[in-house]
Amino acid sequence: MKPLIDPINTSDGQFHGRNNQTGELATIVTPVYMNDTQDATRSLQREVISVLTAGGIKPADATNDQLLDALKALFLAEDDTRVSGALQKDKNLSDLPDATKAREALELDQVGNWLAVQANGGLHSSGNHRIYLDWGEDGKLHVTVDSSDIGILATSDELLHAAIPLPWPTDSPPSGYAIMQGQAFDTTKYTQLAAAYPSGTLPDMRGQTIKGKPDGRKLLSSEAGGIQSHTHTGTVAATDLGSPSTSVFDYGNKATDVQGQHNHAYNWFGGGPDVYHVSMDDVHMGNQDQATSASGNHAHTVPIGAHQHTVPLGAHAHGLTINATGNTANTVDNIAFNYIVRLA
């Protein structure tokens, strides 16, 4: 094929028409460019014609798919003996010169002579450490390992037991699984599940977490939320308020009530009845009762004056009330999942 030709000799490698406004002339197509274009076209034609010829097709003007037909004839033929050593489609790689080296090149030597497992056909091989697989009537895969095998082939039942709760990120469980919501299940249909949950009812895992069973606790028993019993220590500092004074108030002079008029009797020796008779020019002398003059009802003022009292408070303490706080249940940082279980 002819090498890539040079583009047209313009500043941008593009063809331009005449521009009457700017005076720019149209692109001049030189004989050199036209000859290069013709040579490139003929070179491409020769390449395509050679493919048609190899495919046994003669060029025809009226068709547009001859190249495709030629490629199909070359690469989709059942047998192609035109290339020496070519692998034939119908041989299914059995015509490889060295199958062992081919497996090593494809890094298949570590898995042995594995064959596709066909329904009710099984996998059979006579080499050491080979596994025979057969489909059972119940649709399950039965596995037999020869006595010298150093490993084991795990089935789905062994990889994931039917009773294990699994976190699942959607509200729709995958096929063959159920969300654990405390619902009953068919123990005769799901025997593996019944072996773990003989009551025939799945645990309700909504809002629950799983805890390792301590000694003495019954399996699958429910435990209500709570906190471990504990005490708190706390003190309130004592405050000495000293001996504060009351406010000062002047009560002034207060009067007693007005009542109690009275007088007092007293004894004196003078003229009176003959208690003691002494003759002194016939004047009688003796004890007599007389009263003081009366002052009438009256009151007295009681001066109280401005004064105050002290109230000793002294050092003392106060009672402390601790209010409840927090959530309705003990929690840790968490993300909500649905717990699902495999039905089997």
Strand residue runs (E) in the chain: 131-135, 141-145, 166-168, 177-179, 239-240, 249-250, 253-255, 265-271, 285-291, 301-303, 306-307, 315-316, 338-342
Q: Which of 44, 60, 76 is the last residue of a domain?
A: 76
Q: What is the CATH number of the domain that holds 194?
A: 3.90.1340.10
Across 5-14, 165-174, 220-229, 266-275, the highest mean pLDDT is recorded for 165-174
Q: Are residues 341 and 296 in the same domain?
A: no
Is residue 45 classed as helix, strand or coil in its secondary structure?
helix
Q: Are residues 71 and 16 in the same domain?
A: yes
* pLDDT digits 0-9 by tens, 125-136: 444 444 545 454
63-72, 161-170, 173-182, 293-302: range with lowest mean pLDDT: 293-302
Q: Are residues 9 and 70 in the same domain?
A: yes
CA dihedral in degrees (313, 316, 319, 320; nearest 10)?
A: 120
Instruction: Decide if 219 is inside a domain.
Output: no
Does residue 55 surpass a pLDDT of 80?
A: yes
Does residue 113 surpass a pLDDT of 50?
A: no
Burial class (CB in 10 A: 0-12, 13-18, 19+), 203: middle
Q: Are residues 26 and 163 in the same domain?
A: no
Q: Are residues 197 and 65 in the same domain?
A: no
Instruction: Decide if 324 is inside a domain.
Output: no
Q: What is the mean pLDDT of residues 294-306?
A: 76
Determine the pLDDT at residue 165.
95
Domain range for 68 is: 1-76
Q: Are residues 26 and 166 in the same domain?
A: no
Instruction: Decide if 310 is inside a domain.
Output: no
Q: Is pLDDT larger for residue 133 or for residue 267?
A: 267
Instruction: Decide if 246 is inside a domain.
Output: no
Specify the number of domains making up the chain.
3
**HEC-encoded secondary structure of 164-225:** CCEEECCCCCCCCEEECECCECCCCCCHHHHHHCCCCECCECCCCCCCCCCCCCCCCCCCCC
Determine the pLDDT at residue 161.
83
Place of tokens 């509200």: 171
Does residue 157 surpass a pLDDT of 90?
A: no
Instruction: Decide if 182 is inside a domain.
Output: yes
* pLDDT digits 0-9 by tens, 233-255: 878 777 787 777 788 778 777 77
Q: Are residues 162 and 23 in the same domain?
A: no
| CA nearest neighbour of 13 among 3, 27, 23 | 27
Determine the pLDDT at residue 317.
77
Q: Is pLDDT larger for residue 332 or for residue 165?
A: 165
Cα–Cα distance between 291 and 266 in angstroms, integer? 6
Determine the pLDDT at residue 194.
95
Instruction: Decide if 20 is inside a domain.
Output: yes
Q: Are residues 166 and 31 in the same domain?
A: no
Determine the pLDDT at residue 338.
97
